[in-house]
Structures are given as C-alpha cells and as structure tokens.
Structure 1
Amino acid sequence: MRQFALSLFLIFTAGWAGAFEAEDVARFGPSDSERELRIISTADIAFIKPMISSFLASDPGIAIEYTVVGSSELQKAIVDEGEAFDVAISSAMDLQTKLANDGWAQSFTSEATSSLPSWAVWNDMLFAFTQEPAAIVVSKSGFGDIPLPESRNDLINLLRQHPELFRGRVGTYDVRQSGLGYLFATQDTRASEIYWRLTEVMGGLDAQLFCCSSDMIDAVKSGDLLIAYNVLGSYAINREDRDEFAIILPSDFTTVMLRTALIPSNAPSSELAALFLDHLMTRSHGQDAQVLTNPALDLSQNEAALNRIRIGPGLLVFLDQLKKRAFLSEWESAILQK
C-alpha cells in the first residue's frame, strides 16, 4: 500500500513539476456563465483590462478566464502540455510566428481581419493589435543635472563617464528567460553592431537582469536602478507614476514590437475566440480605434528612426537551436563577463 501511495505521489509531482507557470489569473464576467472564454497572455492584466471590459460590455453574458504567463511558458502550455485556451496573446512575435508556422493556430478570416493593414496580419493566423516601442527608462531624480541620453551611443558614453554612479544600477532583460527580451536583443543586433558594445559596457557595470518590463520600471521608481534598457514603452507610459521617470525612444533606431493574438488549434470555444478577435481588431485599428497605449507615446514624432519588426518566417532565424545557443553564449560573455 505504501509503495502504491508513493507511486501515485511520484506521478502527481512529476506532472506538477512539468506544468506551465502562471504569473497571475483573473476572472471577468458572471461566475455562473456557461459561455467561457479562456485567454492565455503575456500582457499584464492592467494593460489588457480596458479591452476586456469593452468586450464584455457588448456581451455581458460571457465569462473570461485570463491567465498571465511569460512568453516561454505560453509556448510550454500550448505545445508541451496541450492546454486548451481559446486565445493566445504574446509580445514575443517570433514565438507566436513559430506557433502558427508549426500548426498550433487556426486560420480565421472575418470582415474585421480582412480590413487590417498588411503589416498586422500573417497567413490569416496571426493578428497584431498594438505597436509598442522598446524604450530606455531613466530616473529623473537619480540623474540630477546629467543630460539624458538620446541614443545608444549617448548611453554608452554616459556609462563610461560615470561608472561609479551607474555600477549595479543599470538593468535590462535576462534574454535567457524572457522571450520578448530575446526578441528585442536579436532585432537590435540586426539593426546595428552597437548593441554588443552597449551590452559589454552594461556588463562591465554589473548590470541587473530582469524577466519583465514591469519589474524594471518598479526598480527605476524605487531607486534600485537609474537606467532600464529595452523596456516596453507602452507599460511605462501607461503608469500613473510615469512623471517620476523619463521615457526615451532612441534616436538612432527604435525597435517596435507588434503584440499579436491567435486562436490555438485546440481552442474549445472557437466562436467566442472569433468574437473577441474581431473586437480586438476593430478597437485597435482604423479612425475610431481606441488603442491600449497612452497617446502620449507618439511614434509619429520619431517615424524615421522606427524599426518595426515584421511578422513572418524571418523571425524564426534566431529560434534555430544552433543560432540561439551561439547568440546566448555571446550575450553571456558580454553581460556576465565571468
């Protein structure tokens, strides 16, 4: 009997250990509804809540379970564990493209998706609903009279001129853990070799590594960091305390991520998923769009420097295991300098 119980315990714990890790879970709508939409997403609840609220206002009988995960955990939930979600939303465009390319997404067309600009849709499976720049976030109080950097070259010079001020107080993504961080880093290297010089300088100053933009912004606010590099500008501008830090879109080039949604191939409620996607696209595009990002983050002011990441198979290059291992090895050498 003890052996049987031990076997059950081992089976249970092995399954539990392999389960994807959720950062947060929220429920919206009536608790007793038979119409439930399950969404798995890398977007913070506060960021996506206005879109969910407007959707439920049009059909209050729907219940929504919203699960927040990291981009790698989203892949794990859908591919490795076969979890049944109706909509998958992610900022990691390369991983979303891989899901669609590998057959994990349904094809979907509607009047709303047919009217999307060409850059916002791929193969009728991936649909973009935001344009979010990678920004440099700096502490206004921590900088004092020091001029704020406007470009990556300015940032490099600043760090070299004030090493003791910035030692241990510069932060960026841990690209080994963050799918979005890895996407931003690989796109930076495609745009310019300056990324490697900047990474080496940050590494020489004991840069702090983070999983998420929100954590980096919190660290800037608390004073633990003075600079956070490649932070989602949309998260920074949407905060009520945004006057406490400066949000800089680098003048040399500003990488712009498109947040995308797809309907997984095993979605249990495809019809509800279609309704939500139509709402998402209608509210995010066109003259009457009510975008999720604060209009103060005006990309048109920096149009010439924008480096929009394009959805498509080109994003799969750095997901090749040999290329990824090589990239991470070079990144670790630059940032960790052990």
Structure 2
Amino acid sequence: MTHPNKSAVATTLPDWSQAKFFLNGLEIKTDKRNILLREQENKLSIKFESGGVKTLRLGVGDNNENLNVESDPSLGHPVYPDDDGSFNWIIKTENNRSGAVQLVVYTTDVALPAVIDSVVISSNLGNELKMLVRGVALPPGGATFNAGETYPITVSWNDSAMAGTPLKLNVVPDAGLAPSDFNSVPPLGQPTTNEWRFTAASGKQGTFNLKASTESNESELITAKNQLKIGAPATVTVWFMGRERQPGATLYPPLGQWLDLEFRRPQGTPVTKHTLSILRDAPGGMRFTPAGTQDLGTVWKVFVNDNAANQRGAFTMTATFEKFSTITLSFNLDF
C-alpha cells in the first residue's frame, strides 16, 4: 500500500540548494574554484536554511596529486550542528604542496553528495606561477613598458592542473601615476582565466608594480618595480577608407561593406612587418582579412556586420609593428 503522504514527504527532504557554504568566512559556490591556503588552517562551514539534516561527513574526492588533506573532526567522522545550526570543520594540508582537490560532503539525509571544487595554494602566488609579458617571464628587476602600447600579459602555472583558477590583475602606481592611467581587457580587478591586454596611457611615465591575485585576494603576487616610458612616436600614417586619418582620431565605419585600412611607412624607411588584431570586438561582430603577419603597406579589409547590435557601441583594434610603436584604433558605431 502506498503511503498517502509519500510524495509530500519526499518534497520536504532537504537538498544542497537549501545550504550555504563558507570557507574562511567567505560564502562560496561549490562549482567554482575555491581556495584552500596551504600555510594555515581553513575553516569550512555549512548551514541549512531549515532543519532536517542531523549529521554531515567530509571526505576527499578527486585528488590526482595525492595531497595530504586532514580535518578536525576527522574525515569520514559524523559532524553534528553547533548551537547556531552550522556544521564546521578545520581543514589542513601539507605546507609545501599545492594542487587541485575535491572536498566531498555527504549524509544519509540528502540523496547526493556536495562536491566542492578546490585548489590548495600558497598565500604567496609567486610560489605557484610566473607572470609573462609578451610571452617572456618578467625579469626579477621588473620590465620596461612604453606608454600607449598594448602588452599581452599571461601567467604560467607550475602545476597545469591549477590553470583554471581565476585571477585578477591590478596596478600599484607610484607618485605621478594613478590607476586610471592604465587600462586592460578584461578590466583590471575582474577575475579571468584568460590573458590581459594591458595598456598604459600615452604621454605618461614613472614606475609601478603589477599585482596578480586570486578572486578574493587569498593569494597574491606583486612584481618588482616596472618602468613606464614615453615611447618613440609612431611614424607610420593611418589610411582608412582612402583618407589619411589623424593619430588617435575616432573612426566611423559604415556597416555591411568591406572597408580599406592601410598603414603607410615613411619614405626611405625599409619595408617591415606588422599584424592587426581585435582588442575589443564590435557588439554585433566584425572581421578582417588577411590573417597573420603582413608587409607594411598591405591593404587590410575590415567588415562590420550590419545588424541591430551594431547600431551603437564601439570596438577597438591594434596594429603591432616590428620597428614602430603599436597603434590603437578606436571605432565608434554611434552615428
């Protein structure tokens, strides 16, 4: 005989959507990379919005690097709620080892376990990775950046399993410079797993540090002082739609047609190579041809899609030269 209230009972059983997870005091999401610091005790707390869960147990799931994870109460030991209704563990790992690991919380009171995607990491991010500028590791004494040029900045993790950990890039400027003098795509302070396209404002010079950190600043790396210098002015001329354009001028591209873009070298200078790239795409998409590195004097063809999304907004392209300064091109669709 079927119990008349069976379906009602089933729907009132708790599930993990009714629980909040906290790691070292910060609320976390189980499906995002969470940080366990290897030099300290890490407090994991779980609290359900309503009752119904009597005990929880903590275990370790995927642990391909065989990290030594310990907890108090012990792994697998039943944990009962404190007076405030929260379940708590203190988690410790080996001090000198980092890597990816999954924490698994389970109970007979909930059908499926909760899996917490985590990385064990040093609070000194410099122990985990190197910062690269244009594919080259930053030297111990810092690097030199030319004002107005765009630099791709990436990181190289010591352990490739940690490469999916989101990081933020920020600038620590010295006197004479301000954070607003620097620009990045994605923006400074926004977590990403991709590279940054980093640019310092034209006409500025001074010194600054770069700072990379995890999303909630649990781990960070501050570089040595970098020099910002005013680079040699670009000596190529920009021709768009058959007309020479002033340096830094905003360009207004018609939609739905191929547009000529050319960079001409000064008379008497040798032929050199250059590349064109999209720094920020048009809202409704755009493309250009040819691809790859070309001789200076090549006529590029730019096509901006004719659609509703491109009726307003902007996009940015950069031209990088072997022997001249990088040029940033700003296109405006609000016309």
TM-score normalised by structure 1 residue count: 0.24
- Higher share of residues assigned helix: 1
What TM-score results when the alignment is normalised by the length of structure 2? Answer: 0.24
The structure whose Rg is larger is: 2
